[in-house]
Amino acid sequence: MAGYLVEDARKVTTLRLQEMKQQGEKIAMLTAYDYTMAQMLDHAGLDAILIGDSASNVMAGNKTTLPMTIDQMIYHATSVVRGVKRALVICDMPFGTYQINPTEGVRNAVRIMQESGCDALKLEGGIEIIETVKRIVETGIPVMGHLGLTPQSINKFGTFGVRAKDEAEAAKLLDDAHALEKAGCFGITLEKIPATLARQVARELHIPIIGIGAGNEVDGQVLVVQDMLGMSKGFNPKFLRRYADLYTTITDSVGQYVSDVKKVDFPNQQEEY
């Protein structure tokens, strides 16, 4: 089965994302960190699934993405890959695994690809990591860039606010985007930047631009799946649309189970051997 809205059951490739941009078909991407969720997202017809290092926040309860290790990312990515037949699977390289030097970046990129079986990697940053991006791409690994609010730099920014609002930062972001395209990236994620700047990047570049809090004049969208399904409480950025209230569904269901167990109503005779 190809998915609810999808007739083409073929595996999505980076080339397919490129064609989608050329044909004006928007790219739908979400995060996933485990097998069960990945299976459902793939069945629903997503084009791409990101094993984001946001696993650090939503799966492990950390305040930032910085504590995520390469072993933890490989564990999450391996679980997701097992659940996906069609979507392109992209894995974040975690903090500290590609910033030190290009050789170490390539070594860690190869390790994530070999051990997880994912299709591509995502790295945060622009010109400062360009040699590493080039070397990873030369190794044969597809790379997605990530600019704007790059959470691995949160301690430098000091705020989760909108990035590139001033002229200098906007100009640097534009230069970074061009540099990433030239270095061979197959796409770029733009996080929490003004929609007009995101539109300019999407128009100037040939590769797909995926936005999160970057307006709708880009080539596709990504959200953290727990946020869009309403599983997280207390995270309400303007860009987030909630498609369900699973927090309430789950707590109501578990509350009912607790009550049934206490009343000795579960299991009943049909549910025993």
Q: What is the dihedral of CA 81, 181, 168, 204, to 10 degrees?
A: -110
For residues 184 and 137, the answer to whether their CB atoms sit within 8 Å is yes
> What is the pattern of x (binds ligand KIV, CB under 6 A) and - over residues 149-188?
----------------------------------------
Q: Least distance in Å: CB of 173 to ligand KIV?
A: 15
Task: Please pick, from the candidates 42, 47, 53, 227, the single residue that binds ligand KIV as defined by CB under 6 A.
Answer: 53
Amino acid at 257: Y
- The widest CA-to-CA distance across the chain, in whole angstroms, is 70
Q: Which stretch binds ligand KIV (CB under 6 A): 9-17, 48-56, 175-183, 251-259?
A: 48-56
Closest to ligand KIV by CB, 2 or 35: 35
Told to check if 47 binds ligand KIV by CB under 6 A, we report no
Closest to ligand KIV by CB, 2 or 242: 242
Report which residue's Cβ sits closest to ligand KIV. 52
Place of tokens 């069960």: 36
Q: Least distance in Å: CB of 29 to ligand KIV?
A: 8
Told to check if 209 binds ligand KIV by CB under 6 A, we report no
Name the catalytic one among 7, 104, 169, 191.
191
Q: Least distance in Å: CB of 191 to ligand KIV?
A: 6
191 is catalytic: yes
| Token digits of residue 175 | 């230069």
| Distance in angstroms between the alpha carbons of the first and the last residue of the chain | 35
* Residues 211-270, interacting with ligand KIV (CB under 6 A): 212, 222, 224
Told to check if 189 binds ligand KIV by CB under 6 A, we report yes
Closest to ligand KIV by CB, 12 or 222: 222
Q: Which residues bind ligand KIV (CB under 6 A)?
A: 31, 50, 52-54, 92, 146, 189, 191, 212, 222, 224
| Residues with catalytic function | 191
